Amino acid sequence: MTEFAIELIGISKRFGTVLANSDVSMKIARGSIHGIIGENGAGKSTLMSILYGYYQADSGDIKVNGQDVRIRNSQEAINLGIGMVHQHFMLVDTFTVLENIVLGAEGGLVLQQGMEQAREHLKQLNRDYSLEVDPDAVVGDLGVGLQQRVEILKALYRGADVLILDEPTAVLTPQEADHLFRILRALKEQGKTVILITHKLREVMDITDGVTVMRAGTVVGNVVTADVDKEKLADLMVGRKVTLKVDKAAAKPGAAVLDVRGLGLTDERGVKLLDKLDFQVRAGEIVGIAGVSGNGQSELLEVLAGMLEPTEGEIRYKGEDLAKTRSGLPKAAAWRRKGIAHVPEDRSREGLVKAFSTFENAILGYQGDKSLSRRGLFSRKALLARTREFISQFDIRPGNPLLRVGLLSGGNQQKVVLAREIHANPDLLLIGQPTRGVDIGAIEFIHKRLVQLRDQGKAILLVSVELDEILALSDRILVMAGGQITGEVSAEEADTVSLGLLMGGHKH
């Protein structure tokens, strides 16, 4: 039997005028963890969607275990032992783990018999790969990391020998990512082949055996991981020298733009999601909020953006009590008009309408801008001109303002949201996970833009689960655990050890 689990030979795929893959070839060794990296829009996900049967290549060949195959749909891919875990999970929230796993593979007319067999198989998979998932848990009640394990279980249950993971750590905490990598190493030890699509070079260096680098739809490098470093991979991805370090001068903070006093939020079950928070964000500084996902950071951003009503406390913006705002508009819209911009953590649910075009998404929340209309009607010319400006400034790919935004890669969708909010010239920018799912070149660009905004006197509140990002950008760091602020650390004094203790609930 051939040593290669997967061989892709001369794969090309075009969507209208966009050439997504151009004569792509690669070989993936059996029993290895193989990384596929590249900028947003480089064609990585399209290529793997061809391998999984979602798309048909316009030309080229695929071999699985040395045999020429034609994969016309995902069921044929599954039959060939190929499974895929997508960036946005495909689970039914109201079903249990077991029900999600057997969905579409119930095993005959007698459902109960199939479920009992599935339960036993699931127990064995849990033991073999340390997945630690309760088969009777309702999926909607599980955290993101556990939901991802359910997706992996689904693929393994269907007999996957080759497992494709698309940006698997984009929504995971560092601890969840570490657990995922332990699972992937266990899969490798059992002879499985793992294909990892990712932007995170540190992860590529830590876990992969080989790496394929893509740029603009083509392969620009197939390398052994041990033979390269992060800087070399970054240069291959972007096609130029990339600065992985954030260069910034010392902050010159001014007056308080945001002043939060005694802020609290209690849910309908009586659980305190935010517990008497006190902090300020001043003009000309970036305040980072570190913490394990699910400790109140998301709720804090939504309260400050006017999306959630706090149970107690006060939010003052440039000296004004925002609770006293009277405009007849929804709170979030009224606050936006005052100069508070918001880049939400979940761009898919809160930042974009995926069925809308890119140019329509480029004005969401700012429809009242009079420069976009003529005689009370939107000016298509003005809308397209603004979007083309965003495309140029933020290198949004493909550069077609008429394209449905849901067809853009996750990183390019993020650029649309960032461009829209930064263009509004806010005095306070609330930003959640700014580089989630974004490639290394775009990360460099986004970080520079945030530092430029700070130096222009803007106040920035940054929430990120990436500790490296918090440490690189922040002038002051607040740490949250259990809905409370457990400590504040200056950027000069901060390190991962002290922050990790605070994130664990040890107050400082």
The 10s digit of each residue's pLDDT in 268-280 is 888 899 999 999 9
Give the residue, 167 or 484, on which the prediction is more confident.
Answer: 484
Distance (Å, whole) CA 473 – CA 4 = 42
Q: Which residue has the higher pLDDT, 501 or 314?
A: 314
Structure tokens given for 480: 């949250």
DSSP annotation of 474 reads: -
d(CA 448, CA 443): 9
Mean pLDDT computed over every residue of the chain: 89
Q: Which amino acid is at 240?
A: R
- What band does 495 get if pLDDT is binned at 50, 70 and 90? confident
DSSP, collapsed to helix, strand or coil, labels residue 421 as helix
Average pLDDT over residues 73-102: 89
More confident residue, 109 or 148: 148
**Smallest Cα–Cα separation from 479: which of 279, 345, 317?**
279
The secondary structure of 45-101 as a DSSP string is HHHHHHHTTSS--SEEEEEETTEEE---SHHHHHHTTEEEE-SS----TTSBHHHHH
Query: In this predicted structure, what is the pLDDT of residue 454?
Result: 97
pLDDT confidence bin for 110, thresholds 50/70/90:
very low
pLDDT at 494 over 90: no
pLDDT at 109 over 60: no
The H-or-E segment that residue 379 falls in is none
Most confident of 98-107, 361-370, 418-427: 418-427
Q: Summarize pLDDT for 149-195 with one digit per residue, the tens.
A: 888 988 888 889 999 998 888 667 667 788 889 989 999 999 999 99
Mean pLDDT, range 269-297, rounded to an integer: 92
The mean per-residue pLDDT over the stretch 244-259 comes to: 90
Q: Is the pLDDT of residue 2 over 70?
A: no
> pLDDT band at residue 436, thresholds of 50, 70 and 90?
confident
Please say if the pLDDT value at position 442 is more than 60: yes
Residue 230 is predicted with a pLDDT of 86
> Once rounded to an integer, what is the mean pLDDT over residues 494-504?
79
Average pLDDT over residues 401-406: 93
Residue spans per domain, the chain: 4-238
What value, to the nearest 5°, has the Cα angle with vertex 360 and ends 356 and 361? 80
Report pLDDT digits (tens) over 333-371: 999 999 999 999 888 888 999 999 999 999 999 988 888
Q: Which of 64-68, 264-268, 440-444, 453-457 has the lowest mean pLDDT?
A: 440-444
Architecture of domain 4-238: 3-Layer(aba) Sandwich (3.40)
Quote the pLDDT of residue 455.
Answer: 96
DSSP state of 137: S
The pLDDT of residue 107: 60
pLDDT at 287: 98
pLDDT, position 397: 84
